Amino acid sequence: MNTPTAALAAGEGTAAAALDAPRQPGGPRRRRRKRIAPWVMLTPAGLVMIALTVVPIALLVLFSFTDANARTVITGAYDSVGVANYTKIFTDPEFWASLWRTLWFTAAMVAGSVLIGLVLANLLTRLGTVMRYVLTIALIFAWAMPTVASSQVWNWLFQPGYGVINWLLTQLRIFGDLTQTNWAANTWLGFLCIWLLIVWQAVPFIALTVYAAQTQVDPAYYEAARLDGASEWRIYRNVTLPFIAPSLILITILSVIWDFNVFNQIWLVTQGGPDNTTATLGVFTFKQAFVSFKIGTGAAISVVTTLILLIITGFYIRRLLRSGEDL
């Protein structure tokens, strides 16, 4: 006859044996469901990505090999022309002029926004708490303003006749009477006006990001450098810049991508004029596709622009991977 003590010992032995036994894998149906579950959950987002990204790019490539025009918009009819659109744009001097204009204007915008962003980031580290909050809020407001709204404000500021900037420059009595100056009617003044607008919008992101990176530098490095008698400029060059260099490189690559694609500000301020002298690649593409209704030609220019941006994006991704970031 079994005693209670013996029964308890037998139960503990059974439980221990169950814990020591290898875990039984699920059945084939259960394993199949576990493999499918992530794909089922990703399907809605994947379908949206395909509808909004892959399909438009596929249509863009398709139309770049056709003679799509205004007739296509109404009837949907078009004919294949092979690589004629690409041959046409590569032999068009206006395409190369707009590409060259885009490259140097992008370089000017990136250089200006990064340099001013660095100065403001350094200023944020030296301000008191209240002034730092005030400047940070002002930067966020400037950053949050939509490009269309800020472009309209810019047009009012530089308006001939009653523009505030024209009036202020006239009051300086250095450049003469500028109250009737139409900035959009002059190539270089138009570029200057657009440059100021885009840099003003780009600086907040760069300043706040660099400031965040700069605050991660150990203050002990600064104290040691000052004890050694280093000047502030030398401390910034030899201590701060090496620490913020990875962030600065990523910001610069992102700025190149964003500024290369600028369209709204240029179109709303000068519309590419006068005589297309401020028309960058984006404006040139828009005019070809939706003003002249040479949709096939516009699609071919867009494909070339996309390939250029893919090359730049490749550098950005390579830099991300080298810095240890996840995609």
* Per-residue pLDDT tens digits for 202-241: 999 999 999 999 999 999 999 999 998 889 999 999 999 9
- C-alpha 126/C-alpha 232 separation (Å) is 12
- C-alpha 281/C-alpha 289 separation (Å) is 12
162-171: average pLDDT: 91
Cis status, amide bond into 160, omega within 30 of 0: no
254-271: average pLDDT: 92
**Cα angle value 139/144/148 (rounded, 5°):** 125
Q: How confident is the model at residue 120 (pLDDT cuts 50, 70, 90)?
A: very high
268: helix, strand or coil: helix
pTM of the model: 0.81
What does the CA dihedral 65, 69, 75, 81 come to, rounded to 10 degrees? -30
Task: Give tens-digit pLDDT for 93-105.
Answer: 999 999 999 999 9
- According to DSSP, residue 82 is labeled T
Q: How confident is the model at residue 191 (pLDDT cuts 50, 70, 90)?
A: very high
2-6: average pLDDT: 48
Phi/psi of residue 80, nearest 5 degrees: -75, 135
Residue among 101, 88, 95, 55 at smallest CA distance from 296 = 88
- C-alpha 98/C-alpha 162 separation (Å) is 32
Q: How confident is the model at residue 155 (pLDDT cuts 50, 70, 90)?
A: very high
- According to DSSP, residue 218 is labeled -
Lowest mean pLDDT among 28-42, 104-118, 246-260, 274-288: 28-42
CB 209 within 8 A of CB 297: no
- DSSP letters along 27-73, please? PHHHHHHHHHHHHHHHHHHHHHHIIIIIHHHHHHHHHTTB---HHHH
19-33: average pLDDT: 65
- Residue with more model confidence, 31 or 182: 182
Lowest mean pLDDT among 73-77, 107-111, 137-141, 163-167: 73-77
CB 285 within 8 A of CB 63: no
Looking from the CA of 69 toward its CB, the CA atoms found within 13 Å total 8
* 118, burial (CB in 10 Å: exposed 0-12, middle 13-18, buried 19+): buried
Average pLDDT, the chain: 87
Domains, the chain, with CATH or none: 51-323 (1.10.3720.10)
- According to DSSP, residue 25 is labeled P
